[in-house]
């Protein structure tokens, strides 16, 4: 899944013309950024698109980058940042994420793999799905992007399939993902405790011989609880893998 968050930008490192969009040096060893002006960009996009890029994709290429995993470990999280300056001289930025932290074994960013990322995410999806068109709204968004006077792209963050996190992380993804994981863990524990309390209540009611109606209904509820979907959903919920950096694993 790919998400994006935008916020005001500061300290841009950009160029004066979109004829050569600025590609910042990769902040993570073995994770390469291939810009539109790079000799291997054309060959790479042809491979990713499954042939010559569709006509609808061509206008998006100047605002795109290809990320290649040159390392030995799969990536379970990727964050690519685009910094823009509008014609009104207003800086703004967006970070696009590809997140398979819940199922790191399903990542496509294995060693040697590449991913196309465009500042307008619909074109990213178009390449991922090997489609040939986008909707009108996406085209209009690209037209707005084309009005920018400055564009730069950089690698914002990655996480490997063991949870190791790296990169400048300008949007605070590390802390946000950790908070979300902790919140999910807490809720799962609360639900488990509540389910245990309900089970104990029903077990006590089943043992009440002086209240047959209550006892019969308690048996019915207990059977439903044992066969219900809640326990299965709680037990099968996949948390994102725990992230860690700076030599310390966080749980």
Does 167 lie in the same domain as 143? yes
pLDDT band at 96; cut points 50, 70, 90: very high
Does 14 lie in the same domain as 80? yes
- From the DSSP assignment, how many helices (H) and strands (E) are in the chain? 6, 11
Determine the structural domain holding residue 231 and report its residue range: 177-249
Does 22 lie in the same domain as 108? yes
Q: Quote the tokens at residue 149.
A: 């006077």
Q: What is the DSSP letter of 16?
A: S
pLDDT band at 235; cut points 50, 70, 90: confident
Give the end of a domain, one of 171, 203, 233: 171
- Which pLDDT belongs to residue 247? 65
Q: Distance from CA of residue 16 to its chain's centroid?
A: 31
Q: Long-range CB contacts (< 8 A, 24+ apart) of 46-49?
A: 47/114, 48/114, 48/115, 48/116, 48/127, 49/116, 49/127, 49/130
**Please, are residues 54 and 79 in contact by the beta-carbon 8 Å criterion?**
no
Give the end of a domain, one of 148, 171, 194: 171
Does 94 lie in the same domain as 76? yes
- Which pLDDT belongs to residue 250? 46
Pairing of strands 114-118, 22-23: unpaired
Question: How confident is the model over 30-56, as pLDDT tens digits?
Answer: 999 999 999 999 999 999 998 888 899
Q: How many domains does the chain have?
A: 2
Secondary structure (H, E, C), 41-70: HHHHHHHHHCCCCCCCCHHHHHHEEEEEEC
Give the end of a domain, one of 147, 171, 195: 171
Question: How confident is the model over 131-176, as pLDDT tens digits?
Answer: 888 888 988 888 888 888 889 999 999 999 999 999 999 999 999 9
Does 231 lie in the same domain as 134? no
Does 219 lie in the same domain as 124? no
């Amino acid at each position: 899944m790919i998400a994006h968050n935008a916020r005001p930008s500061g300290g841009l490192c950009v160029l004066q013309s979109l004829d050569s969009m600025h590609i910042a040096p990769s902040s993570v060893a073995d994770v390469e950024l291939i810009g539109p002006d790079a000799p291997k960009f054309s060959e790479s996009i042809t491979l990713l698109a499954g042939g010559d890029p569709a006509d609808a994709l061509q206008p998006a290429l100047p605002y795109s980058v290809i990320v290649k995993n040159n390392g030995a470990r799969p990536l379970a999280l990727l964050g690519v940042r685009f910094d823009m300056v509008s014609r009104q001289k207003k800086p703004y930025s967006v970070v696009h994420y590809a997140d398979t932290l819940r199922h790191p074994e399903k990542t496509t960013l294995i060693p040697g793999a590449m991913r196309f990322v465009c500042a307008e995410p619909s074109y990213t999806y178009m390449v991922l799905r090997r489609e040939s068109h986008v909707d009108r709204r996406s085209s209009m968004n690209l037209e707005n992007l084309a009005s920018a006077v400055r564009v730069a792209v950089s690698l914002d963050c990655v996480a490997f399939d063991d949870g190791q996190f790296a990169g400048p992380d300008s949007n605070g993804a590390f802390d946000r993902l950790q908070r979300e994981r902790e919140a999910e863990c807490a809720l799962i524990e609360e639900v488990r405790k509540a389910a245990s309390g309900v089970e104990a209540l029903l077990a006590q009611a089943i043992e009440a011989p002086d209240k047959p109606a209550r006892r019969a209904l308690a048996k019915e509820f207990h059977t439903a609880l044992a066969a219900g979907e809640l326990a299965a959903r709680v037990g099968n919920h996949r948390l994102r893998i725990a992230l860690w950096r700076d030599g310390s694993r966080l749980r």
